[in-house]
Amino acid sequence: MQALNITPGELPPECEALRAEVREFIAENLGDYPVSKRVRNWSGNDPEFSRKMAERGWIGMTWPKVFGGAERTSLERYVVLEELLSVGAPVGAHWVADRQSGPLLMRFSPDVLAPKIVPKIARGEAFFCIGMSEPDSGSDLASIRSKATLASNGWVINGRKVWTSNAHRTHYMIALLRTSERSENRHAGMSQFLIDMNTPGITVRPIVNQLGEHDFNEVTFDDVVVPHENLIGEEGGGWKQVGTELAFERSGPERYLSSSQLLLEMLDAADPANPRHTVALGRITAQYATLRQMSLGVALMLSRGESPALAAAAVKDQGALVEQAMPDIAHDLFGGLADPDSTLAQAMAYTALAVPSFSLRGGTREILRGIIAKGLDLR
Ligand SMILES: Cc1cc2nc3c(=O)[nH]c(=O)nc-3n(C[C@H](O)[C@H](O)[C@H](O)COP(=O)(O)OP(=O)(O)OC[C@H]3O[C@@H](n4cnc5c(N)ncnc54)[C@H](O)[C@@H]3O)c2cc1C
């Protein structure tokens, strides 16, 4: 039987020096950033803030200089993300491009698309959305029906994507599309494409979430033509490529640092003489410390060139569990006492409505547990 091995480790000294630099940047740029916005964490979208990060070289930090990157280590990147996420910085505009679209383009279209697009990402000028889910295809992504058909003037795209975060604010989508009919091999016949969101024939309609906010969308494609060169990687190789992309998507510290504002607010409001407060908050703090060790372990695996897909799925699953429990704990400890206008009450209200999505986005709990079970040879 396989084992889930996540070896704890320490960050090298240069990372701690960088941490001080990031804290200075945060103090300068987010000193008066209100809790009502901090709670949004990496859903917070501020292109101006993204450009400031780009000026520091903190978008595409690990990428080669030839693509506009800073050639820093993945552990240095981890420190920057950890600091920004723990204060709820509005990193959402460039998040997807930095985390997965840039790396995907460099890996699968290093000579054609990456030289054109990736430097723009590193400058904070190109933001991306993810076109995977469809109305009847979520967990079962292999059942997608949207398609790209080869024509003399390019690829002609027809179909519909759903739950597309930030489609209304981004410049590009990377979409998984069917390039040949379904066959016995369910994973064959899909390909990935780069789509400029300004191309004629694309309609983006808002889907308002239960917070009353417009973050995700339905996107329809009616005879949308994209150049031949916008096929990313191999025709028919989409399924394997998407697997790589999802591994990037699941491996970062955002998978346990989405609700940290609520924890900070609870710690501020706690009464050290109240054993209910100390026991409950002590427990969450210990869980956070463990998740941090696991998440750092994943980062260290990545830095050694190992493939942490299994460990990353475990961190995402456990991170969502801890974060989803927090609003109930907050309510239990402070519910009746909280001033409705206090920052604690604001953090509780927002987080209670946001957390259900944490075990859906990026792969549902059941799907992740299936991956873990398979990885451990348990099914
Ligand atoms: C906040 C948020 C942002 C998102 N952003 C994007 C985005 O930008 N781009 C994008 O493409 N998608 C996005 N999604 C969609 C997300 O990836 C899907 O919601 C997710 O993959 C689940 O698909 P579904 O909603 O169709 O649910 P379904 O797949 O229909 O699942 C419904 C339930 O059935 C369970 N289930 C399904 N299959 C199995 C199985 N085989 N075994 C056991 N249980 C199973 C699931 O775990 C779930 O509980 C986003 C979702 C959220 C919540």
Assess whether pLDDT exceeds 70 at residue 24: yes
Q: How far apart are the C-alpha atoms of 93 and 52, rounded to whole Å?
A: 12
**Stretch 302-326: mean pLDDT:** 89
Find out whether 143 and 137 touch, Cβ atoms under 8 Å: yes
> Closest Cα to atom 13, ligand 1: which residue?
163
> Closest Cα to atom 41, ligand 1: which residue?
367
Fold of 129-241: Butyryl-CoA Dehydrogenase, subunit A; domain 2 (2.40.110)
What is the pLDDT at residue 338? 65
In DSSP terms, 148 is beta-bridged to 157
Comparing 123-127, 163-167, 282-286, 299-303, the range with the smallest average pLDDT is: 299-303
What is the pLDDT at residue 337? 65
**Stretch 203-224: mean pLDDT:** 97
CA 241–ligand 1 middle distance (angstroms): 19
- Mean predicted lDDT score pLDDT of the chain: 94
Q: Which residue has the higher pLDDT, 1 or 69?
A: 69
**Stretch 174-190: mean pLDDT:** 95
Ligand 1 contact via 239 beta carbon (within 6 Å): no
pLDDT tier at 248, thresholds 50, 70, 90: confident
Give CA separation, 209 vs 262, 278, 346, in Å.
20, 34, 18
What is the pLDDT at residue 109? 97
Ligand 1 contact via 139 beta carbon (within 6 Å): yes
Find out whether 298 and 78 touch, Cβ atoms under 8 Å: no
Ligand 1 contact via 146 beta carbon (within 6 Å): no
Position in ligand 1 atom list of the atom nearest CA 132: 11
CA 360–ligand 1 middle distance (angstroms): 5
Ligand 1 contact via 369 beta carbon (within 6 Å): no
Ligand 1 contact via 274 beta carbon (within 6 Å): no
CA 355–ligand 1 middle distance (angstroms): 14
Ranges of CATH 1.10.540.10 domains, the chain: 13-126
Please tell me what DSSP assigns to residue 84: H
Residues in contact with 71: Cβ distance below 8 Å, sequence separation at least 6, in sequence order: 62, 63, 64, 65
- The beta strands (E) that lie in the chain are given as 128-131, 147-151, 154-162, 172-178, 190-196, 202-208, 214-226, 231-232
What is the pLDDT at residue 304? 86
Q: How far apart are the C-alpha atoms of 27 and 45, rounded to whole Å?
A: 19
Distance in Å from the first CA to the final CA of the chain = 11
The single-letter code of the amino acid at 100 is: Q
Ligand 1 contact via 130 beta carbon (within 6 Å): yes
> Closest Cα to atom 3, ligand 1: which residue?
361
What is the pLDDT at residue 228? 98
CA 209–ligand 1 middle distance (angstroms): 15
Q: How far apart are the C-alpha atoms of 169 and 290, rounded to whole Å?
A: 35
Q: How far apart are the C-alpha atoms of 191 and 353, rounded to whole Å?
A: 35
CA 246–ligand 1 middle distance (angstroms): 13
Query: What's the pTM value of the predicted model, to 2 decimals?
Result: 0.95
Give CA separation, 277 vs 274, 284, 329, 351, in Å.
5, 11, 10, 19
Q: How far apart are the C-alpha atoms of 82 and 288, rounded to whole Å?
A: 12
Summarised one tens digit per residue, pLDDT across range 281-305 is 999 999 999 999 999 998 888 888 8
Ligand 1 contact via 43 beta carbon (within 6 Å): no
Find out whether 102 and 248 touch, Cβ atoms under 8 Å: no
Assess whether pLDDT exceeds 90 at residue 3: no
Summarised one tens digit per residue, pLDDT across range 320-358 is 999 999 999 999 999 876 688 899 999 999 999 999 999
pLDDT tier at 1, thresholds 50, 70, 90: low
Ligand 1 contact via 133 beta carbon (within 6 Å): yes
Which of 361, 365, 371 best tests ligand 1's pocket when mutated (most atoms within 8 Å of CB)? 361
Ranges of CATH 2.40.110.10 domains, the chain: 129-241
What is the pLDDT at residue 5? 85
Ranges of CATH 1.20.140.10 domains, the chain: 251-375
Phi, psi torsion values for 296, nearest 5 degrees = -65, -35
Ligand 1 contact via 165 beta carbon (within 6 Å): yes
pLDDT tier at 142, thresholds 50, 70, 90: very high
Assess whether pLDDT exceeds 70 at residue 15: yes
What is the pLDDT at residue 272? 96
**Helix and strand counts by DSSP (H, E) for the chain:** 13, 8
SS3 content of the chain, % helix, strand, coil (to 5): 50, 15, 35
Assess whether pLDDT exceeds 70 at residue 155: yes
**Residue 312 structure tokens:** 């990353």
Ligand 1 contact via 287 beta carbon (within 6 Å): no
What is the pLDDT at residue 362? 86
| 251-375: CATH architecture | Up-down Bundle (1.20)
Q: How far apart are the C-alpha atoms of 203 and 74, rounded to whole Å?
A: 37
CA 329–ligand 1 middle distance (angstroms): 26
CATH 3.40.50.300 fits 13-126, yes or no: no
The single-letter code of the amino acid at 321 is: L
What is the pLDDT at residue 309? 82
